[in-house]
Amino acid sequence: MERKFYDIHYHLFDLSHPNLLAFLLRDDLITKKTVRNVLKKFPFLLQFLPLRLVGLFPGQTVKNIREYLGNESRNFRNLISVMEGAIEYHFLYIEYFLLKEKKYFGNNIESKYNKIVLCPLLMDFGYKNLNNQDCFYNLPPAKPIVNQVVDIINALWFYYNYELIPHPDKQGRLKLIASGTTKEKKLFEIYPFLGINTQNYDLQEIAELFDKYFCGYESDGGGEERHKKLFDKLGNIKADLEDMLFRRKEKVNADYYSYMFAGIKLYPPMGFDPWPEDNRSELDKVRFLYSECIRRKLPLIVHCSDGGYVTSPDAKEFTDPSKGWQKVLSKPEYRSLKINFAHLGKQNDGKNDWKKTILSDISADKNIYTDCSCQTPQEIDYTKVSDMMNPETETNILFGSDFLINLIWSKSYNEYLNNFIQTNYIDDRQKRFMCEINPERFLFG
């Protein structure tokens, strides 16, 4: 009997995807305590610092760099190792190490799950150099999200058409070969979410995004029919930047790129305002987005912690679930919006206001969810989840890993998944809700 494990919050990045400055300036990567700590965590930043600053403490800097590279950089090197890899190999690579472990996943005798459903969340980082007006090369040549879309489509193509095996001639290497495994037998089912920040588009462009990627969703029956259409598309199309920009394949087949995405990803810390009531044109775009999500039966995943890629000065205001989001949820026309407020509403100052708001919303509205992504790198961290579980909320809490960003705290994807299965802080019934029943309903229910 097939058992599926759902990871509702996953990321596929390489170093070309994020706004690099936003990536480097994440609060969880670079602290604000001292310059010494910055250099200790990210010694390559020395290349960009004025020599006069480095000259103030050359001996200590060299010592810290050597210490960091030799002893303390495992997690960071692990993260960069994955991000530096060819993105087409990403899912094959992660699958290889899961199957090699022969523990909880796959078709070995000890497996609890023979299928993992991944939801990679694309993030709309916007036009990355628009704010660098003092730079010479400051005009963006293409659409904000298009390169990520091309990469995710081609990574899916590679995953379902190839596999990695130990190289027969080169020890410690892997070799890419044509896959002899049918799509149905692959470990992963992969249903991405499209990142959209309405501030990066005009209303017509947003309408075109929906028509391009979600054509036909409004008339399918949802549930099993939606699932089948998404599954059928996996590994059957390829993409390139030229075609994405000039839409040549769509002139032959209007729904060529449809049924590639299961939903929409929104990211308030980078400037998405859930209810911009003081800006009529922006409010029109946001209203349109919500209405289309309802009409086409699309779930939303919303970043909901005060960490992450923070580029907007209004990040906390936009992210706070008790503010703009409550105005959205109070509107009768948006009552059927299905929203996952991710990261358990984590606040780094120790407050629980956001978490309490989310739990209150879940109790009042079964279309509201939250996930544990990036909040449970250790088994004991599931006490955070256990504390939120009760008969009113347990059917709306989801498992998410936040891979590959969670490599900042975790050794591997294997470790993050294994900790969930092994932990005794939540019971088997609660685990089944989180990684099987609830996410299936969130995606297809």
Per-residue pLDDT tens digits for 136-166? 766 665 567 888 999 999 999 999 999 999 9
pLDDT per position as a tens digit, 172-189? 899 999 999 999 999 999
The verdict on residue 32 lying in a domain is no
Mean pLDDT on 290-299: 98
The verdict on residue 60 lying in a domain is no
Q: What percent of the chain has pLDDT over 70?
A: 84
The verdict on residue 257 lying in a domain is yes
pLDDT of residue 134: 66
Q: Which residue has the higher pLDDT, 357 or 26?
A: 357
Task: Say if pTM beats, i.e. exceeds, 0.75.
Answer: yes
Measured CA to CA, the distance from residue 81 to residue 90 in angstroms comes to 11
Does the structure show a pLDDT above 60 at 214?
A: yes
Q: Considering its fold, how many domains does the chain have in total?
A: 1
Does the structure show a pLDDT above 50 at 385?
A: yes
pLDDT of residue 34: 38
User: Which CATH number does the domain housing residue 205 bear?
Assistant: 3.20.20.140
The verdict on residue 234 lying in a domain is yes
pLDDT interval class at 357 (50, 70, 90): very high
The verdict on residue 154 lying in a domain is yes
Picking from 120, 441, 381, 148, the residue whose alpha carbon sits closest to that of residue 261 is 120
The verdict on residue 231 lying in a domain is yes
The verdict on residue 365 lying in a domain is yes
Q: What's the domain range around 284?
A: 4-14+86-444
pLDDT of residue 63: 57
The verdict on residue 399 lying in a domain is yes
Q: Which residue has the higher pLDDT, 303 or 69?
A: 303
